[in-house]
């Protein structure tokens, strides 16, 4: 995979689609692309292939790494409401910015403008905030609690299998927690 500063390293970009309600990984893959912009469509197709009993994907929450007009259009065409950050947001906005009224919706918006507007409303901000509580704990717990810091196998197929085992281990750990709390 190409790395910052030039050159290549033997590394992979792990992808995981996580259900917000249960924190279960519902789709996983690894790629050798250094950024995530081209990964939304393949992961969406994995989600579309899931059994109907699991429910239908209504809203997709993704960080700025997945933002592109093509990804917004693909989600819209698939009937999925995309909420993808269109840029980096400051960590500590001023009180004036934090409590400012949302701008009015644009007339005849492009798909990107139609997606960005809800992110500026109080309800959209609250919904997008779930993104920080959904995939981030999964990756953090896989690293810290399960002790996973690097792939032990080499080659895309072997690494994909290792990532599948790790996400299954996470899902089993999570299902045990969910079963004991109900």
Q: Is residue 3 part of a domain?
A: no
**pTM exceeds cut of 0.85:** no
Q: Which domain holds residue 112?
A: 13-180
70: domain CATH number is: 3.30.420
Q: Is residue 6 part of a domain?
A: no
Q: Is residue 51 part of a domain?
A: yes
Domain count, the chain: 1
Q: Is residue 162 part of a domain?
A: yes
Please give the Cα distance from 43 to 82 (Å, whole number). Answer: 14
Q: Is residue 161 part of a domain?
A: yes
Q: What is the pLDDT along the chain (182 residues), one digit of tens a residue?
A: 887 888 888 888 999 999 988 999 999 999 988 888 898 888 888 888 888 888 888 888 988 889 999 999 888 888 888 888 887 777 787 888 777 788 888 888 888 888 888 888 888 888 888 888 888 899 999 999 888 988 888 889 999 999 999 999 999 999 999 999 87
Write a three-state SS string for 50-65.
CCHHHCCCCEEEECHH
Q: Is residue 2 part of a domain?
A: no
Q: Is residue 166 part of a domain?
A: yes
């Amino acid at each position: 995979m190409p790395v910052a500063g030039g050159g290549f390293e033997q590394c992979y970009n792990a992808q995981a689609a996580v259900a917000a309600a249960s924190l279960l990984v519902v789709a996983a893959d690894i790629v050798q692309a250094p950024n995530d912009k081209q990964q939304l469509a393949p992961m969406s197709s994995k989600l579309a292939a899931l059994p109907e009993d699991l429910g239908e994907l209504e809203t997709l929450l993704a960080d700025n790494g997945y933002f592109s007009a093509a990804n917004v259009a693909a989600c819209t065409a698939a009937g999925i409401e995309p909420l993808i950050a269109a840029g980096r947001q400051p960590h500590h906005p001023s009180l004036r910015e934090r409590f400012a009224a949302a701008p009015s919706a644009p007339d005849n918006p492009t798909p990107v403008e139609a997606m960005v507007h809800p992110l500026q409303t109080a309800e959209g901000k609250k919904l997008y905030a779930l993104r920080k509580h959904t995939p981030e704990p999964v990756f953090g717990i896989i690293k810290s609690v399960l002790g996973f810091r690097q792939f032990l196998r080499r080659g895309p197929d072997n690494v994909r299998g290792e990532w599948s085992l790790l996400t299954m281990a996470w899902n089993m750990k999570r299902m045990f927690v969910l079963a004991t709390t109900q």
